[in-house]
Amino acid sequence: MPGNGSVLATHTARRALYERAGRTVVDLARRYYDSGDESVLPRAIASHAAFDNAMALDLAMGRSTNTVLHLLAAAHDAGLDYTLHDIERRSREVPCLCKVAPNGSSLMEDVHRDGGIPAILGELHRAGHLHEDVRSVHADSLAEWLKTWDVRGGSPSPEAVELFHAAPGCRRSAEAFSQSERRHDLDLDVAGGCIRDVAHAYSADGGPAVLRGNLAEDGCVVKTAGVDSSILTFAGRAVVTESQEEAAEAILAGRVQPGDVVVVRYEGPRGGPGMQEMLYPTAYLKGRGLGKVCAMVTDGRFSGGTSGLSIGHGSPEAAAGGTIALVEDGDRIVLDIPGRTLHLDVPEEVLAERRARATFRPRNRERTVSTALRAYAAMALSADKGAVREVPAT
């Protein structure tokens, strides 16, 4: 529901939001079961255009690379042909309109004061970056719900205006609906506020960008909003690790030096299995002052709090025969975010020799894997397909 993405957890405004969501669910159920209205079903609302709009919002906020994984998986289950190529195209079109920590100094409470998610969508809509032939569970058209909920638009509803005045309580509390603080005004500054218009965008490119090259033939992703402009292009010596744990140990032990590229492989959907977040290695790089002088490349994924040169979702993954399995210590890796490339600077004949003797299994890694995860790994596709399971036809 509008406001759900930004209203503060302990504010009384969230109670009204819950109640509105409950009423909407009951209404949708009655429309389907009592009146046979199939237009309210999830697959009737999901469309290629809707997924494209969702990706535009994510790019405009410079958000996590995890969105790429989840959107691809959701599109697969919705029966839609929405692919990494669509995300790649979108990433070149949509500017970054909102920077939130850790990519900037603003917090979600600032996003809320600026009008929340409807305000970001409103700016994208006014700039022609959204498809209009979509609908939601609470409105029959994009124009209808933006008119009601975008406080930067012409005539937002009094309910919307009041909702986005909700403010922090300025005291520690884990109790729901425990405070009703209200701001005196909204921040509608499109040039210098937290949410900006396209003319004053933080950058021409949005959030996750898709890179391709011989090290990730089917693509990999990086959160551009979290990368300092001084390291958008980077080349360094590979330090190869077979797991997140080994990567963490290598960083803490001083094996990783300025200019290095930490390679963390066999952490993809099949190799992990399950694709755990590379949270510790990225935190340790920052802690040792290497965040702006090193890069990390993995077939695993990253936390939404990650910043820096963190290249994830390398596909095909190592366990599926990807080139990342062939990297050796000391190899030169070159990445170019503006050029959207990731390249292993090793002659093709040398890679062919390495491939001929590769086992595509991690070396000397001890990890207990449950039966459920082993079953998942047997059917898992690489991250460029959303890490979904490919169930045999027979």
The set of catalytic residues is 303
Q: Which of 150, 86, 87 is nearest to 124 (CA)?
A: 150
> CA 356 → CA 65, 271, 325, 326, 346, distances in Å?
33, 19, 12, 10, 15
Coil, helix or strand at residue 269: coil
Q: Are 259 and 293 in contact (CB under 8 A)?
A: yes
CB 226 within 8 A of CB 306: yes
Q: Token pair 């027979």 is at which residue? A: 394
Between helices 66-77 and 48-60, what is the axis angle to 10°?
A: 170
Residue pair 215/297 in contact by the 8 Å Cβ criterion: yes
Determine the Cα–Cα distance for residues 332 and 310; give it in Å rounded to an integer.
Answer: 17
Alpha-carbon dihedral angle through residues 3, 8, 11, 15, given to the nearest 10 degrees:
40
The residue behind tokens 């207990």 is: 368
Q: 292 CB contacts (<8 Å, ≥6 apart)?
A: 228, 230, 231, 308
> In this structure, what are the phi and psi dihedrals at residue 218, rounded to the nearest 5 degrees?
-95, 5
Q: What is the distance between the alpha carbons of residues 207 and 59, in angstroms, rounded to a whole number? A: 4
Number of Cβ within 10 Å of residue 143's Cβ equals 12
Q: From 15, 49, 136, select the one nearest 146 (Cα to Cα).
A: 136
